[in-house]
Amino acid sequence: MTPTPAEPFGARLRRAMDERGPLCVGIDPHASLLADWGLSDDIAGLERFAMTVVEALADRVAVLKPQSAFFERFGSRGVAVLERAVADSRAAGALVLMDAKRGDIGSTMAAYAATYLDPASPLFSDAVTVSPYLGYGSLRPALDLARESGTGVFVLALTSNPEGAEVQHAVRADGSTVAATMLDHLRAENAGAAPLGSYGAVVGATLGTTLGAAGADLAINGPLLAPGIGAQGATAADLPKVFGAAVRDVVPNVSRGVLRHGPDVAALRESAARFAGEVREAAAA
């Protein structure tokens, strides 16, 4: 059994970002990337891909984010590879954010939470992504278990896909948007936490000025996972413009921008270091 972390996730994340640079790199073994690496679209290719990323980056980046779906598509053997990738990444010092985007109610949500946030689980991770669109209260089992186990939760708030706006920008009866309401909830969860809360939001780095239309106050005293750097078009230089005063709490996520340099371990490391340096420089500007 992996021991319960002695510190809350937010404190561990802040230290990892300060020491290793503010960067999250995805582990996304989708078929096109396997092909780009010259690997077969099967368990052997999946394992080679995942473990090469772990070898290259787990001892130097702050966060690794495996996308669960790309492992699950191979069934139980794929999940076994995911278990190994999580365990080896954490052993090398990286924080693992499981990108599972789970969202349900009652005992089902409690089971999802236990899968990723219970130290007794073979998939125990440092944090997990969740979807709040069955109502923020439906996430309570994950929120409570995260507090108990010293782990973190990242709630989808303002995603970069165009379809997200129809839900996230919708205006409630009290005049606030759905996205702003989610951020308000997270702000309350993080109240009083230092140096950083453990309850984060997912906010696309490609959204730019549309954040204003959503009535978004991004200062939640918690981390802001920002996908979109690199292949999706956003750059490190965009971060201060998008996130303003909250930029120091941003955890930029880069996947294809780094992974396209594989399977060369040195090239993967060089690319991740370059992105981390650019983000650090932009946040300090």
Domain at 73, CATH number: 3.20.20.70
Q: pLDDT tens across 93-123, in order?
A: 999 999 999 999 999 999 999 999 999 999 9
Structure-block tokens of residue 50: 């995942």
* Residue 131, domain member (yes or no): yes
* Residue 115, domain member (yes or no): yes
Contact 7, 150 (CB under 8 A): yes
Give the predicted TM-score (pTM) of the model: 0.95
pLDDT above 50: residue 200:
yes
User: What pLDDT shows up at residue 215?
Assistant: 58
Count: domains in the chain? 1
* Residue 3, domain member (yes or no): no
101 carries an active-site annotation: yes
pLDDT above 70: residue 2:
no
User: What pLDDT shows up at residue 233?
Assistant: 74
Structural domain span for residue 61: 9-284
* Residue 4, domain member (yes or no): no
User: What pLDDT shows up at residue 171?
Assistant: 94
User: What pLDDT shows up at residue 1?
Assistant: 42
Q: Any idea which of 165-169, 180-184, 190-194, 238-242 has the lowest mean pLDDT?
A: 238-242
* Residue 1, domain member (yes or no): no
**Annotated active-site residue in 101, 248, 260, 280:** 101
Q: Any idea which of 9-18, 34-43, 113-122, 238-247 has the lowest mean pLDDT?
A: 238-247
* Residue 22, domain member (yes or no): yes
pLDDT above 90: residue 149:
yes
* Residue 26, domain member (yes or no): yes
Nearest-angstrom CA–CA distance, 169 and 24: 26
User: What pLDDT shows up at residue 214?
Assistant: 61
* Residue 80, domain member (yes or no): yes
